Structure 1
């Protein structure tokens, strides 16, 4: 079992990824490449540098990154400021991160032990107890670090802390089932029911995902499903009907809540920091019409007997 994981963010006092007040750990690594992903820093399963050009002092006045970089050709400057790092050449030695005095180069991810994570989590144990909250592990996809999550959740159970993890479930079942005995709540997405379309926009088909979700419900684990509603990709009624059919027929409607999440332009600056193109940049939305359509979709799901809401409403009790 692994006692260490790669964590890229910790959020305290969160209210939207599980019940009550929670501490949320975001882990590096994801098997999907969704066009609309808001956390591009989560995609790679290793620690890496990201560049924030607006913070760069300048190549002329500082240049510390050039002095320590093993291959200066991987540093791309424009108008005297660091624009990007060529991730095809970067070895992720992180010398530039340590050298930069302006935090223009950010380290995405750090290695943390279970003990270190529990030290952070236990700071807010009183809030969990009073609000029926707990710990949520997200990403990325935490199942890529399943051994670490298992050990973390074991410790949470020792402290009587509610546990929740979010996953794409594009994974082997053996990696899922080791976490389940220590898990109270699971959150997952249904991005598209058509496998070809799913692969076009996420990089993978949905066969393994749908199969694993069915196994989750067969084990009667509490499950929240989410649909990120993406305009002109998965908001058509053909896909919505197919989703409802799957939930009712294949999952026996054993879903605590189906949550509809409105597409937002998120993470664009982080894409730039990593030198990754942001595919949703030119997507324009009539927000009022879009929200009305999402409301209609929610009405449809509820008419089929599926407990559906717009947004996340897990509140403090």
Structure 2
């Protein structure tokens, strides 16, 4: 029986998470809650509705959502416009979203089998072959759906399709071992080297993550590490030096590439759709100055023998 997972997005023809042209599946659920997360809809493991109030036609002109909602008072209106959902009442049945003609209510997530995912993946086989691309599974945290990912990657290998796993590795090593046999490339983050600060900004300490990365570095898999460079959080030199020490000493510098990803104000509209405040709203920075700082960080890593680039494009990965 084919495995299932809850997928909240599928991107075809992407070039950012692995080499070549890729199809990328994003799976719901994550043990971390990073303050800078650009995909807050990924954090919950459940299918949930998001509200885009500006699209609402109005209860007086439409009202389909209110008529099908099984829990009175779940939908919150102001001046006849849907503005939010009372999450303490909503049962996430998605009846409202199915009836909304204006897409003012978006369904974040849908259950998908491996067979259904492969139907989408195989549409672009020729592009994977011509570009040396393949399939990437990301999240959220895809290892919360490890059986699904393991079967999907095995099916990809049966079709000679390259596979990439993008994971936090905040899980038991036995879970990771289920997926590794059919994984060609691994991408992961090093968000902060200090366990206390890591927990402060992500909700979870980093001990298990670092231990798993040590084990992973010994598996012979191609490994890309990313640092989401967050101003005032992990961009200071003490943390940068500690990160470089870890890569060199604990991982044996067995890293294909280190990528520095500049903080961007992503996901604000998604937070609003979920009725949540944007955690990074107070961050104000000089973009040019910040970018220059990131270039200096890259120069430091390269100077110490860790291959480092700024960005995530396929061209950079392939070099």
In structure 1, what is the equivalent of residue 289 of structure 2? 289
In structure 2, what is the equivalent of residue 234 of structure 1? 234
Is 1:68 aligned with 2:68?
yes
Contact 2:17–2:313, Cα closer than 8 Å, also in 1: no
The 5 A counterparts of 1:152-301 are 152-301=152-301
Contact 1:199–1:205, Cα closer than 8 Å, also in 2: yes
In structure 1, what is the equivalent of residue 28 of structure 2? 28
Contact 2:217–2:223, Cα closer than 8 Å, also in 1: yes
**TM-score computed with the length of structure 2 as normaliser:** 0.97
Partner SS for 1:261 = strand
Shift of the alpha carbon at 1:280? 0.8
In structure 2, what is the equivalent of residue 40 of structure 1? 40
- Partner Cα separation in structure 1 for residue 9 and residue 275 of structure 2: 20
Contact 1:2–1:147, Cα closer than 8 Å, also in 2: no
Question: Unpaired segments of 5 or more residues in structure 2?
Answer: none
- How many matched pairs? 317
Partner SS for 1:72 = coil
- Partner Cα separation in structure 2 for residue 218 and residue 86 of structure 1: 48
Contact 1:18–1:185, Cα closer than 8 Å, also in 2: yes
Contact 1:27–1:140, Cα closer than 8 Å, also in 2: yes
**TM-score computed with the length of structure 1 as normaliser:** 0.98
Shift of the alpha carbon at 1:222? 0.9
Shift of the alpha carbon at 1:90? 1.4
- Partner Cα separation in structure 2 for residue 50 and residue 213 of structure 1: 35
Shift of the alpha carbon at 1:192? 0.4
In structure 1, what is the equivalent of residue 116 of structure 2? 116
- Partner Cα separation in structure 2 for residue 171 and residue 2 of structure 1: 23
Q: What is the RMSD of the two structures over their aligned residues, measured on CA atoms?
A: 1.2
Is 1:103 aligned with 2:106?
no
- Partner Cα separation in structure 1 for residue 88 and residue 239 of structure 2: 37
Shift of the alpha carbon at 1:64? 1.7
In structure 1, what is the equivalent of residue 53 of structure 2? 53
**Larger CA deviation: 84-93 vs 124-133:** 84-93
